[in-house]
């Protein structure tokens, strides 16, 4: 069964609204989770590292105020796309490493975000 649950799997919303995506580790604690973004027919690009109890670490070029990350517990990280616009439409996917050696990496099933 899935060890990382991501919700929702698909969301459609109007431009200007905020959307929250949840990434939950099942049966294990994840002090660190990763958020990736994937455009159609392209690769996964790391957006940020979510750290439990502290601020997220964002990759260069990722707007912190646009993509808010909260890792309030050892099993849950959330990504909020604020004031979403059509260019934010994409596939977002999270992963959580198991153990300090990062092995294995478990991926959520992803969230398809469509902004109208």
Partner 1 sequence: AQTVTQSQPEMSVQEAETVTLSCTYDTSENNYYLFWYKQPPSRQMILVIRQEAYKQQNATENRFSVNFQKAAKSFSLKISDSQLGDTAMYFCAFMKPNLPQGGKLIFGQGTELSVKP
Question: 65 in the Ramachandran plot: left (φ > 0), alpha (ψ -120 to 50) or beta?
Answer: alpha
Among 46, 48, 53, smallest CA distance to 69 is for: 48
CB of 25 to partner 1, least distance (A): 14
Q: For residues 22 and 52, which CB has a smaller minimum distance to partner 1 in the complex?
A: 52
Among 99, 79, 77, 102, smallest CA distance to 24 is for: 77
CB of 23 to partner 1, least distance (A): 13
Residues lying near partner 1 in the complex (CB under 8 A) are found at 31-32, 34, 36, 38, 41-46, 49, 51, 91, 93, 95, 97, 100-105, 107, 109-110, 112
Cα–Cα distance measured from residue 112 to residue 66, given in angstroms and rounded to the nearest whole number: 17
Q: For residues 31 and 80, which CB has a smaller minimum distance to partner 1 in the complex?
A: 31
CB of 51 to partner 1, least distance (A): 7
């Amino acid at each position: 069964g899935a060890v990382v649950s991501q919700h929702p799997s698909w969301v459609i919303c109007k431009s200007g609204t905020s959307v929250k995506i949840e990434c939950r580790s099942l049966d294990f604690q994840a002090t660190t989770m990763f958020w990736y973004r994937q455009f159609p027919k392209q690769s996964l690009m790391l957006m940020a590292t979510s750290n439990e109890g502290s601020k997220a670490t964002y990759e260069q070029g990722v707007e912190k105020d646009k993509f808010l990350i909260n890792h309030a517990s050892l099993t849950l990280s959330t990504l909020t796309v604020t004031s979403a616009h059509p260019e934010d439409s994409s596939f977002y996917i999270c992963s959580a490493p198991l153990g300090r050696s990062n092995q294995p990496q478990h991926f959520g099933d992803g969230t398809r975000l469509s902004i109208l």
